[in-house]
Chain A
């Protein structure tokens, strides 16, 4: 109870802070303050400023590498907007949108913040051939004041990933960008849910307040509209799993949409992440399945014996295809969204000819920014939709596995 008393004192303070934040936001209310014309002018100015800074920052690396005489002699050796993407070939001549996008989509051993700054993350590597562990921080791979990367203990950093120099087999246990983002999402979820559950135990039978009023409809939605509708009578056993999976996918989707530092990792667009979720769904579907489910897979009632030779393999394949489809759907949707957003943002650099033509980059900015806002809004919807669809399909599959037929209604 000592712990409980402490929390009781702390939580009202946090709540008051939340309330003051909410009051601030409702007072400012940007949309009301700007009329239509003001908004147009504002967005135009914003695009101009954005494109100017974007093209200026793409020229910055060139200035710092001016000790290289060839860079001055050939004006075409402007380097790209994104340094880490091409640190291995720092003098390639044009902007490479595919390289930039693929670098963003892929996992990384460091978290790129802005310009040359990146957040160092722990590197934990098990070398299978040498049978030893290698641990360091990813900042060890950066040259002290220079551009490129240095080799450390027989490992090199290429495109923000660590590779062994001698090509030996490694297992990477590092806290990578995606793992970091995932842990961040986890902490946010824990804070939110502990606040909400504490509020429920403190204010029994009262009207929900603050964060409660945000979370209650969502949890009700998952528990009743998704789980109860599709699973049937013993749905309560699966509600914790479904609520977990819904909010975990949702928070990671939303974190991925934040374009600046703590977000922006392509977490739920990572095939390992979605594989883990699909595997959990596979376990939940099959481990708790009822007898009739296996009966319908191996010996379908009311089907001729000869036909079972064809039907049984198809049904057995179906067990595995369901979670694989879940896995690929989430992966494809989120990765596709990230690619769409980044390729539109790349238009500024393509049209601006990598900072050489300011007019082109401003024009690109004016085209790109309304499109970007549209695609981002679309992705916000997709973030919710995919969390919903994953949870919904999982609960439908669980519902199929939970069904029990009486012998009368064999079809």
Chain B
């Protein structure tokens, strides 16, 4: 059971990593294309990263709970 929880934890971290990486990469591209909009892009980036991270954290909490 502990191993399954650990695998689930790792998978959620993987998913969140891919998601946040894509958000960050696209935001970089956006800023490089339009440096004058960097403030707005940064704000939106942080919101989206927080939302993705929330999903990962919920998964991690569930894996904690399943571990007992």
- A residues with a Cβ closer than 8 A to B are 325, 328-329, 331-333, 336, 385, 388-389, 392-393, 396
CB contacts (< 8 Å) of A388 on chain B: these are: 46
A388 to B50, CA, bound (A): 10
A393 to B46, CA, bound (A): 11
Which 9 pairs across A and B sit closest by C-beta, in order of nearness? A332-B57, A329-B54, A389-B50, A328-B58, A332-B61, A325-B54, A329-B57, A332-B60, A333-B57
Report the minimal beta-carbon distance from B65 to chain A, rounded to whole angstroms.
11
A332 to B57, CA, bound (A): 6
| Cβ contact within 8 Å between A331 and B61 | yes
CB contacts (< 8 Å) of B54 on chain A: these are: 325, 328-329, 332
CB contacts (< 8 Å) of B53 on chain A: these are: 329, 333
A388 to B53, CA, bound (A): 14
| Cβ contact within 8 Å between B47 and A393 | yes
Q: A325-B54, A328-B54, A329-B53 are in contact. Are A392 and B61 (CB under 8 A)?
A: no
**A interface footprint on B8-24 (CB within 8 Å = 1, 0 otherwise):** 00000000000000000
Give the tally of cross-chain contacts (CB within 8 A).
Answer: 31
Report the minimal beta-carbon distance from A328 to chain B, rounded to whole angstroms.
5
A120 to B53, CA, bound (A): 38
Q: Which residue of A lies closest to B54 (CB)?
A: A329
**A interface footprint on B32-43 (CB within 8 Å = 1, 0 otherwise):** 000000000000
A393 to B44, CA, bound (A): 11
CB contacts (< 8 Å) of B61 on chain A: these are: 328, 331-332
Q: Which residue of B lies closest to A382 (CB)?
A: B53
CB contacts (< 8 Å) of A392 on chain B: these are: 47
Report the minimal beta-carbon distance from A266 to chain B, rounded to whole angstroms.
14
A389 to B57, CA, bound (A): 15
Q: Which residue of A lies closest to B47 (CB)?
A: A392
| Cβ contact within 8 Å between B50 and A393 | yes
| Cβ contact within 8 Å between B47 and A336 | no
A-B contact pairs, 15 of them (CB 8 A): A325-B58, A328-B54, A328-B57, A328-B58, A329-B50, A329-B53, A329-B57, A331-B57, A332-B57, A332-B58, A332-B60, A333-B57, A336-B57, A389-B46, A389-B50
A332 to B50, CA, bound (A): 12
CB contacts (< 8 Å) of A328 on chain B: these are: 54, 57-58, 61
Report the minimal beta-carbon distance from B49 to chain A, rounded to whole angstroms.
9
CB contacts (< 8 Å) of A333 on chain B: these are: 53, 57
Report the minimal beta-carbon distance from A88 to chain B, rounded to whole angstroms.
18
A336: which of B46, B50, B60 is its contact (CB, 8 Å)?
B60
CB contacts (< 8 Å) of B58 on chain A: these are: 325, 328, 332
**A interface footprint on B46-68 (CB within 8 Å = 1, 0 otherwise):** 11001001100110110000000
Report the minimal beta-carbon distance from A27 to chain B, rounded to whole angstroms.
36
CB contacts (< 8 Å) of A389 on chain B: these are: 46-47, 50
CB contacts (< 8 Å) of B60 on chain A: these are: 332, 336
A393 to B48, CA, bound (A): 11
CB contacts (< 8 Å) of A336 on chain B: these are: 57, 60
Report the minimal beta-carbon distance from A242 to chain B, rounded to whole angstroms.
15
Report the minimal beta-carbon distance from A393 to chain B, rounded to whole angstroms.
7
A336 to B59, CA, bound (A): 12
Report the minimal beta-carbon distance from B58 to chain A, rounded to whole angstroms.
5
CB contacts (< 8 Å) of A396 on chain B: these are: 47
Q: Which residue of A lies closest to B58 (CB)?
A: A328
Q: Which residue of A lies closest to B67 (CB)?
A: A98
Query: Max chain A CB contacts within 10 Å: which of B47, B54, B58, B60?
Result: B54
A396 to B50, CA, bound (A): 13
| Cβ contact within 8 Å between B46 and A385 | yes
A328 to B58, CA, bound (A): 7
Report the minimal beta-carbon distance from B11 to chain A, rounded to whole angstroms.
16
Report the minimal beta-carbon distance from A319 to chain B, rounded to whole angstroms.
17
A336 to B46, CA, bound (A): 19
A61 to B50, CA, bound (A): 43
CB contacts (< 8 Å) of A393 on chain B: these are: 47, 50
A183 to B38, CA, bound (A): 39
A331 to B64, CA, bound (A): 13
Report the minimal beta-carbon distance from B68 to chain A, rounded to whole angstroms.
11
A117 to B10, CA, bound (A): 38
Q: Which residue of A lies closest to B61 (CB)?
A: A332
Report the minimal beta-carbon distance from B32 to chain A, rounded to whole angstroms.
23
